[in-house]
Amino acid sequence: MERFLFTSLSKIFLLFSVLIFSTGCFPPPKPTPPVFSLYGHQGLVILPFDNVSADPALAQELQNNLTAQLVGLNAVPVYEQGAVSNYLNQISNDSDDPSADPAVVQRLSQHFKADLILTGTVETYVESTQVQPPQRIQTALFSTDNKWGYYTVQQVKITANAKIVNAANGSTIWVKNAWGNGQNQVWTDIPYPGEKTDPPAEGWDDYFHHHDHPEWRHHNEWDHQNNSSPVVTINLNTNGNNSAPSAPALLYQTDATFSNLRGYAIAQTANWISDDFKGHGGWTLGYVAPAPAAGQ
């Protein structure tokens, strides 16, 4: 019966979708040009990103991901961080922010024949694990049976910013703040009767203590006040003075799940930054938006 109902609903949804698109209820998106166009420029020099986060390897990986996306746009010649770093070393540059030094910007522009300088900063990297309070859910779609359990949420968050400087005069002509988030959610069943709609009167800590549940003893996630709030473990990875440590104990280095979450967060952050340089809705180079109709 459930399979028949699911199949019928699928057919109805497919028919509804065909009707919508065939009648033009959802017109195609209008072409939208980039927020900041890289097309028509001489070249883009990417300076080494600064890193004030807890992950010493993060700035390089974010920059590599962003560089690959910018090269893929094929909008402007891109001079990546490796070649730029070598040149900065040759001219004995010791500035903390080369983009703020007019003399360095001018030499970069002349050497690479570029009119745009891009730089950025990775601001934060945070790994967290949150065990949520137990809840009662259905065992399956359309089922009348229920079960008790809890979700464990693992998460990686990254924040960064980037800017583009006009090489001709050193002025900042584009700025973007970006973030990325990788999240994984895992459900764990609890051996508490699913037909019961209320949690145990004595509280979850006492319940699992009485039932000698080993996994619960291992986690020890809730307080002794009937789980009024979950415990959140956040790996800040700082050395106590809000600066990045030389060798932080980061979860992604030994945990495959956190490694994947970190990779997703990096890609999301790079996508957020590069999105301003992309056209949308089928936009192509040379597209000119039509003039608004009279009265609009």
Domain boundaries, the chain: 37-235+257-275
CATH for 37-235+257-275 (3.40.50.10610, 1.20.120.80, 3.30.70.270, 3.30.565.10): 3.40.50.10610
Rounded distance, CA 99 to CA 84, Å?
A: 12
- Is the full-model pTM beyond 0.85? no
Q: What's the whole-number average pLDDT of the chain?
A: 81
CA-closest candidate to residue 157, choices 133, 122, 189: 122
The candidate with the shortest Cα–Cα distance to 121, out of 182, 84, 181, 175, is 175
pLDDT band for 20, please (50, 70, 90 cuts).
low
- Least confident window among 2-16, 41-55, 251-265: 2-16
163-179: pLDDT as tens digits:
999 999 889 999 999 99
Least confident range of 6-20, 221-235, 273-287? 221-235
- Close Cβ partners of 187 (under 8 Å, ≥ 6 residues apart): 149, 150, 151
Which of 28-42, 77-91, 169-183, 199-213 shows the lowest per-residue confidence on average (mean pLDDT)? 199-213
* DSSP helix/strand/coil, 235: strand
Give per-residue pLDDT as tens, 132-166: 889 999 998 888 999 999 999 999 999 999 999 99
Q: In this structure, what token pair is assigned to residue 135? A: 């809840």
pLDDT, residue 163, reads 96
**pLDDT for res 228:** 39
Whether the Cβ atoms of residue 273 and residue 120 lie closer than 8 Å to each other: yes
- pLDDT at position 12: 55
Q: What is the pLDDT of residues 84-120, one digit of tens each?
A: 888 888 886 666 678 778 888 888 899 999 999 999 9
Q: How far is CA 92 from CA 70, 157, 196, 284, in A?
A: 28, 35, 72, 42
Please say if the pLDDT value at position 280 is more than 50: yes
| Predicted pLDDT of residue 213 | 58
Beta pairing partners, 126: 157
Once rounded to an integer, what is the mean pLDDT over residues 220-241?
42
